Structures are given as structure tokens and as C-alpha cells.
Amino acid sequence: MFEPGMIIQNRYEIIEEVGSGGMSVVYKAKCHVLNRYVAIKVLKPEFADDKSFVSKFRIEAQSAAGLSHPNIVNVYDVGEENGFHYIVMELVEGITLKEYIQQNGRLPYTTALNFITQICSGIEAAHEHHTIHRDIKPQNIIVSKNGTLKVTDFGIAKAATSNTIASSAMGSVHYISPEQARGGYSDERSDIYSLGITLYEMLTGRVPFEGENNVTVALMHIQSEIIPPREYYPDIPVGIERIVLKATQKKPERRYLTTSAMLADLKKIALDPNANVGITNAMVSDSAPTIQISEDELAAINNAAGSQSGISVFPVQPQKRNSELEEANQALESLYQDEDADYEDDEESDEDDEELFDDKDDKDALDPKMEKLITVGAIAATVLIAIIIIVAIVSISGIGKKKPNTTETATTTEAVADTMISVVNMDEAAAIDALDKAGIAYELEREYSDTFEEGKVISQSIEEGTKFNDGDRVKLIISKGQEMTDVPDVTGKTSEEAQTILKAAGFEVEIDEEYDEETEEGKVISQSPAGDGQAAKKSTVTIVVSKGEEVKVVEVPDLKKMTIKEAEKALTDVNLKLGTVNQEYSDTVKEGKVISQSIKAGVEIKEGEEVSITISKGKQQATTQQSAGTYTATFSGTIDNSSYSFPEGGLVKVIVKLQADGVTHTLIDNMYDEAALPLDGSSFGSVSGITDKSSVSLVYSVQDANGNDITSSFSSSLQASLKAE
């Protein structure tokens, strides 16, 4: 294969290998002619040696190169280098849809809807250019980094022969249509089946059929019914499930006939997830052309199918679809009310027909040319009979004549419409008026809706554009608005209790948090909407949960060299309190100025805390001088209540003491009520006969009626001054 550094066609420089699949290896390369990075997909040698395969591969790769669409990987060039065949493509940075699903699990339906709409848009563009992909699967879809999906592998898909399905395209069988599984060629509707399986996997995170080998899975596509996605996940909207089930019908005629039709329904679902889409055609035909698988696998499928269900599966020769037959089928569709009954009858007929041709070695088998003539004749006869029946029924039943409404009727003389109009999202009165003018009978039902206003049409039972019989009746679902329900009062409950109660009542819950001094942390302060009122079911109730009392912190200011008053003001400015004021001699700090503080400057503490200070008494005199005389202490300042809440009639005990010469002098030891505060220090009297000035200190304490120390709830600016006697 190619190696990094190789130059291909004097133009493409191989940078690195970026991926490998069943049939090819992909390299990142640089185009030196256009100065851009590209991806080069190289066929593996086992396929490059197959001349027939290579021929088909080149033709289809060139066909894919003619496609230009935002959701298709652009093909720039096709070539050969040293016997290796390659395709030069747009380089898309991203991962495959398969890897995306493996990483994320089942996708939200909105994401799946966005993805499948992009994929369908790309496939629609290919079908418009008469290019069938034939191998649509998540492995062939790239999710780019910007969210754009790109479909790739058009060339290899169509060129793939029987050996690719048997050996190298193991993933493909999980997405293969029943007609491909039987053997034959496929058309646009086969791609639509694979699109349906891909959407199924996005919605559920799984493929609908799993088996031990390719044959088992192929048989499931032919014989087994798909389990509806909503049986796995009821949250999937009804409308998108209907699209999946229609796209994956066993018979091609029951699927969407074009990707454009599927896209139209996808767009309706984007507006209304529960829209009435995906109605299956009643009439089916078993003459749909099918594609060729390997003979060994086809034989295995035939044998297994025969042993399991009594049905033989055999290749059908390709035939062109007859447009007249399709028109006849569509017209006859209105004659049959029970689709399932018709489908079962068709299957019983299929079994009989297939048993007739099951033995390939039957010596009495018809000559192929004769068989072709009989087939063409049968089709022509069917068309003729269908047209005769239609004409007869039209003549007898008078299709086209107006029948008045039997439920909530409105009379008009205009002719009956032959196809259904759309009245979804119209006001009830306007919708009824439109149906009456079109001569369409109707009946009304009413349902609650979270998305449609009261009085709007939510859905209609007959899809827009659908042909219907005279006498058919369309059912309109009218919105009753949002269903209202009582809102429980959860104030005062814990957050967990409130959420449990509200969710049990059918509401979504959103939580906000606030500080609150009065409500305990973790409990509900308030709610919106308020409790005991009403709100729309499934709407959101916002609860505000307490974070408790807000703790505010402030920095302690630097109080050094301030006076007591200056220090007290500095503390008050930042919502702190002055605590105990002590005194010391200082040789460096002037008398009356702060020497130190109990909490260092710059430290963060809770608002309202106290900071004590030590005031300088000035320089200490010599001992001989200190002891020579005696002194008298007088007092100034106050004791004040900062934060204590007095109980009714309550008292506090205030104790003030002076220590001097090793002796304690009690200045105050009394009970006071709230009115007696603040206490003025000048009323404490004086203490005489102090002989050692250096040992004087002043302390105070406050106790409640029970003897508990509550000093921290009071502040003091008391100080003693000594004068020689």
C-alpha cells in the first residue's frame, strides 16, 4: 500500500494513514497543485485484482464525482498508481456516525432528527442525479467537527459485488433492505430502508436485528418485524417513530417512494414531534426488482427461510417499474380499509407463487424469454383490470360528489376535494371553515397540549395530499391548552423533600440559592409559582433554598500608635468592635498610644468580632523614684452593651477590678438592667495609697443572671490615671 512521503501522480503527497475499512485504506494527503489537504481512499489488493470490480468501481466513482452537495463528501479525482486504484476525496475532519453513537449512546430525538435530515438531503441530491448509494450505514457517514454530516462511499457501494457482502462489508448486512438480502438490484427505496435503520439506531442506540452471522441477520430483514423504537424508549415522539416504521417496511411499495417525501415528513416532525406522518401505502406489489448477493449466501438464505417459515427466497429478474401500475395501485388504495388484511393476503399469495418456482432444477421450468413475456402480459392485464375496476367504482359510488359532514357539519355547494388539505396549527373555526369549503367531512377530539395553544389544531388523521374516498372522515385533534394542576406548598421543607414532592406532582424543579438569616440552611425560603395555586403540568417550579446566614469577613486594621478613640473608630469603620484595653510601659511608644493589638493587622475575621489593644503608659521611672512616693488612681471611660439582648426584666452583673502593688481593689460588683448602661468610669471613685506605679492594671467582666460570662457582648474604654499624692 502507500507509505508516508510517497508522491502520487506528481501531485498528491501521502501524509499519514487515517483509517481502514473492509475494502479500502484511507490516507491523508496534500495536493501540491491546489495547495489543499485531501483524503485518498485506496482499494485493497484483493479487490484491485478483480478487473470487473475495478471497472464498476471507476464508473461509479466517476458518477459520484459529479455530485456536489454540502452533505456529500466531494470526489475530486480517480486514478491508479502501481496497480493500486484510488479515489481522491474531500478531507473531512471528524468521526463516523457509528463512532459518534458508540461514544454518546442513543441520541436525543432532536439530534437524531437533525442528523437524519442532513443525511436525507445528501441522498436526495444523489437520487436526483440517478445515483443509488446501496450501502447507507453509520460507518459511511462522517460527523464533522462543525456538526455537518457527510455521506461517503458512493463509488464502492454501487460497485460492490457478492464477495464484498460475504467477506468485507460485515456491517452492511445490519442495514440491508429485504430486496437486497434476497438478491437482485436495488433502487431508491432500498436506500430509504437503510436510512430508516440508521435513524432507528440513532434513536435507540442499537440496530433492530442481531444474529450469529450475515445469513441470520439477512433472514431477519426478510421475515422479522422490527420492534418499534418506543417499546424501548417511550420518550421518543410518536411522529418520528412513524417515519422509522414507514421507511423500514418489508415491501418497497409500502415505504416512502422518494427521499423527498421522507424529508417532507421530517420537516413536519421538526415543527410538531407528534405530527400524523408516515402513513403506509395500502396496495403493494411483489414485482419489485432485487439485487444479487453471493450464491452461497443466497442458497443459505433460501434454505433457512424455507425451513423457518415455508417461504422460498429466490432471485427475481430486474424489471422496469410501470408508472401506470403504480397509479392503479394508488387509486385502488382507497378501496381497502384494512391495510394489514391486504398485506397478509399478499404474503399468502407470495408463498404460493414462490413455492412454484423454488426448485431451480425443475426440468419443466419455463424458458426465460417466455417467462418474460408472461410477466409483461401479467402486468398489462393487472393494469387493465385495475383501470376497469376504478372506472366501475367511480361510476357506481359517485366519487367526486360532495357528502355533507355528519359531525359538526357546515353545508356548502362546492365540489368535494379529492386530496386532503392541511389544517394543522390553524384555529378551530378556521380549520372547520377550510374543511367545509373543501367538502371534507370531519370529527373533533380534544386533548391537552404543551406546545399548541388552546383552540389550535394539533393533528389530523389524514395526511395532507392523501387521496381519499367519498365518505371518508378526517379526525382533528384540538388543543385544550396546557393541563393545569395544583402546586404543592414546599416552603420550609428541605431541598430534597421539596424536589420529591414537586416531581411527584408532575413538575420540573429549578433551584436557586440565597443567604437568609431567618431560614435554616438547606430549607426552602420561597417558591415560584407560589404553593396552593395552579400551574401547567410538567412546567417548572423554581424554589429558593437558604444558604444560611451570610458570613462576611473583614481585614483587621493596623491600630498601632493610635489613641483609644482613634482605634475604636478604625474598628467601627470595618464593623469590628474594641475589646479589652490594657496598659503597659513603653520606652518607644508615647503614653496613650496603642502598643499592640490582639489580632494582627491584615488578618480576615468575621464582622462584629472584638479586637483588644494595649495602650502605652509611657516610659517607666526608676525604681527608687517609683517607690519613693504614693499615688492615687482615678478612672475614666465607659462600659457599654454592644450586642447583648436583655431578656424582659433581665439583669447583668458587672465586675471591675484594679490590681496594684499585688493587691486587688474591687471597684464595681453590682447588678444592672439595660437602662443603667453605659457605666461611666468617672463614677467608680478612686484608689489611694498606691506605691508601685508600674504594677497597676485594670480588668472588667460581665455575667448574665445564670453566671455565664458574656463579656464579649460588651465593650469598654476604661482606663486608670495615677497622680502623685
CB 88 within 8 A of CB 12: yes
Question: Do residues 535 and 485 lie in contact, with contact meaning Cβ atoms separated by under 8 Å?
Answer: yes
Of 662, 669, 679, the C-alpha closest to 716 is: 679
DSSP state of 587: S
Q: Which residues contact 453 (CB under 8 A, 6 or more apart)?
A: 479, 481
Amino acid code (one letter) for 355: E
Strand partners, 40: 27, 88
Q: Grid coordinates representing 482?
A: 396546557
How many C-beta atoms surround the C-beta of residue 362 within 10 A?
Answer: 10
Cell representation of residue 163? 464477495
Residue pair 120/195 in contact (Cβ under 8 Å)? The answer is yes
Query: Cell digits for 123?
Result: 441522498
CA pair distance 219, 313, nearest whole angstrom: 10
Closest CA to 436 of 393, 466, 406: 406
DSSP string over 136-204: --GGGEEEETTS-EEE--HHHHHH--HHIIIII-TTGGGT--HHHHHSB---HHHHHHHHHHHHHHHHH
d(CA 110, CA 122): 19
Helix (H) or strand (E) holding 215: helix 214-223
For residue 112, give Cα distances in angstroms to 224, 453, 633, 697: 24, 27, 91, 83
Please give the helix or strand (H or E) that residue 48 lies within, else none.
helix 45-48
Name the β-bridge partners of 85: 80
> From CA 136, how far away is CA 175, in angstroms rounded?
7
Residue 39 to residue 47: CA distance in whole angstroms: 19
Amino acid at 697: S
Helix (H) or strand (E) holding 567: helix 564-573
Half-sphere exposure of 227 (CA within 13 A, CB side): 13
468: exposed, middle or buried (Cβ count in 10 Å: 0-12, 13-18, 19+): buried
* Cβ neighbours for 696, distance < 8 A, ≥ 6 positions apart: 583, 633, 658, 659, 660, 690, 720, 722
Q: Reply yes or no: is the peptide bond before residue 108 cis, omega within 30 of 0.
A: no
**544, three cell numbers:** 429558593
Set 77, 135, 191, 272: catalytic member? 135
Q: Torsions phi, psi of 120, nearest 5? A: -60, -40
**135 in catalytic set:** yes
Helix axes 214-223, 295-309, angle to 10 degrees: 50
Burial class (CB in 10 A: 0-12, 13-18, 19+), 725: exposed
Check if the beta carbon of residue 116 is closer than 8 Å to that of residue 199: yes
Which letter does DSSP use for residue 333 in this model? H
Amino acid making up residue 634 = T
- Helix ranges (DSSP H) in 95-139: 97-104, 109-128
DSSP, collapsed to helix, strand or coil, labels residue 242 as helix
Cβ atoms < 10 Å from Cβ of 446: 15
- Sign for the pseudo-dihedral over CA of 278, 323, 341, 248: negative
Helices (H), 574-689: 623-628
Pure H helices in 424-524: 428-438, 495-504
Cα Rg of the chain, angstroms = 46
Catalytic residues: 135
